[in-house]
């Protein structure tokens, strides 16, 4: 049964107020950009709640979400994710809903859609059978595109799709899989593997372009060797350094990704992109945490083991005992792999406006044109 929404009509327009868990149909003005979100756990707003997967790839239990939501939503954070903050900066009346939630409620897709899936990779083999990888996310988007054409007509849907902002966070899980899979390590050199990951991304970008997409906001792979789980795996007495093999793979990926985006901007007429150097932003924050109000940038707030790097937050992943920090606002990392809401807001703020980590366009400009 579709959820009911209460609308208050004022003289100057329509104001809608929603809880994140409630789906309401909001048709934006024809020229107001909507958001289509693709990727992994950094962007998943709850799609994995609706698939047959394990709790390793779910976060629909406390203390996840406790900072900003009355109930856990499936977000891998204590609260808001980067796309949520971007939606707030863009004055959206609601956060972008997960595709599978909208589909279950027989809703419409004209206010944007989140396709991201925790654990997803650019490659179909990454966590295969447990997540929605990038190409199936593309398949869902194509279904949405067709439905929009049927509901809105060719002209209006084309305008919506061409004016929309397409957000991506993908790749981290591919490299975590690579270093732990002996078959992959024996079959590909690191450069060959990076080429496959980025090559799949290229295919998806170009397919979205064919559907009308023009404005792409791309998150680089972050400092994945410095997350609490990687530090714990690399730990030796007297050392808390980052896991270098993951750092090297992330740098290679980001170099290849920037080259790809520059080529697409040259090759595809009207293709615009905003590239956020998530890697360097994280390194700078870790090197100087007080500049952004953090006091702890190695340990997670929620978890167990060294650096609280075990995936035990919430006690639902085979480890029932975990620790929870008293003040999450001091922490860069929420759990074994994921940033806090505060850290996500910092990244979104740097993406949104002019910053040394964003090229060649900031995300704000995509909502103004």
Structure tokens at 305: 């083991």
CA-closest candidate to residue 252, choices 193, 204, 205, 185? 193
Name the residues annotated as catalytic: 41, 335, 338
SS (H, E, C) the chain: CCCCCCEEEECCEEEECCCCCCCCCCCCCCCCCCEEEEECCCCCCCHHHHCCCCHHHCCCCCCCCCCCCCCCCCCCCCCCCHHHHHHHHCCCCCCCCEHHHHHHCCCCCCCCEECCCCCCCCCCCCCCCCCCCHHHHHHHHHHHHHHHHHHHCHHHHHHHHHHCEEEEECCHHHHHHHHHCHHHHHHCCHHHHHHHHHHHHHHHHHHHHHCCCCEEEEECCCCHHHCHHHHHHCCECCECCCCHHHHHHHHHHHHHHHHHHHHHHHHCCCCEEEEECHHHHHHHHHHCHHHHCCCEEEEECEEECHHHCECCCCCCCCCCCCEECCCHHHEEECCCCCECHHHHHHHHHHHHCCCCCEEECCHHHHCCC
Structure tokens at 81: 């994710």
Whether residue 336 contacts residue 261, with contact meaning beta carbons closer than 8 Å, is answered with no
| CA dist., res. 170 & res. 230, Å (int) | 18
Residues 6+ apart with CB under 8 A from 206: 264, 268
| CA dist., res. 42 & res. 81, Å (int) | 7
């Amino acid at each position: 049964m579709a959820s009911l929404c209460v609308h208050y009509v004022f003289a100057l327009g329509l104001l809608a107020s929603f809880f994140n868990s409630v789906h309401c149909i909001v048709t934006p003005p024809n020229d107001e950009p909507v958001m289509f979100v693709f990727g992994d756990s950094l962007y998943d707003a709850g799609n994995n709640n609706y698939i047959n997967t394990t709790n390793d790839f779910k976060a629909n239990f406390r203390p996840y979400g406790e900072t900003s939501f009355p109930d856990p939503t499936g977000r891998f954070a204590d609260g808001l994710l980067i796309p949520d903050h971007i939606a707030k900066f863009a004055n959206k009346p609601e956060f972008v809903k997960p595709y599978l939630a909208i589909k279950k409620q027989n809703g419409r897709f004209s206010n944007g859609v989140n396709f991201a899936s925790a654990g997803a990779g650019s490659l179909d083999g990454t966590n295969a059978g447990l997540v929605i990888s990038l190409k199936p996310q593309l398949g869902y988007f194509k279904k949405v595109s067709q439905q929009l054409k049927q509901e809105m007509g060719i002209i209006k849907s084309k305008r919506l799709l061409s004016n929309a902002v397409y957000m991506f966070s993908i790749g981290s899980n591919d490299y975590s899989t690579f270093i732990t899979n002996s078959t992959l390590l024996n079959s590909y050199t690191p450069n060959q593997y990076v080429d496959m990951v980025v090559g799949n991304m290229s295919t998806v970008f170009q397919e979205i372009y064919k559907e009308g997409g023009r404005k792409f906001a791309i998150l680089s792979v972050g400092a994945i060797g410095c997350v609490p789980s990687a530090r714990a795996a690399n730990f030796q007495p007297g050392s808390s350094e980052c896991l270098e093999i993951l750092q090297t793979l992330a740098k290679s990926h980001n170099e290849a990704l920037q080259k790809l985006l520059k080529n697409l901007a040259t090759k595809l007429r009207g293709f615009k992109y905003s590239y956020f150097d998530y890697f360097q932003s994280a390194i700078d924050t870790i090197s100087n945490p007080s500049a952004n109000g953090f006091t702890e940038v190695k340990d997670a707030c929620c978890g167990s083991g060294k650096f609280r790097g075990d995936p035990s937050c919430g006690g639902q992943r085979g480890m029932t005992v975990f620790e929870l920090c008293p003040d999450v606002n001091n922490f860069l990392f929420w759990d074994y792999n994921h940033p806090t809401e505060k850290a996500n807001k910092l990244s979104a703020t740097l993406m949104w406006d002019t910053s040394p980590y964003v090229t060649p366009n900031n995300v704000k400009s995509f909502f103004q044109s």
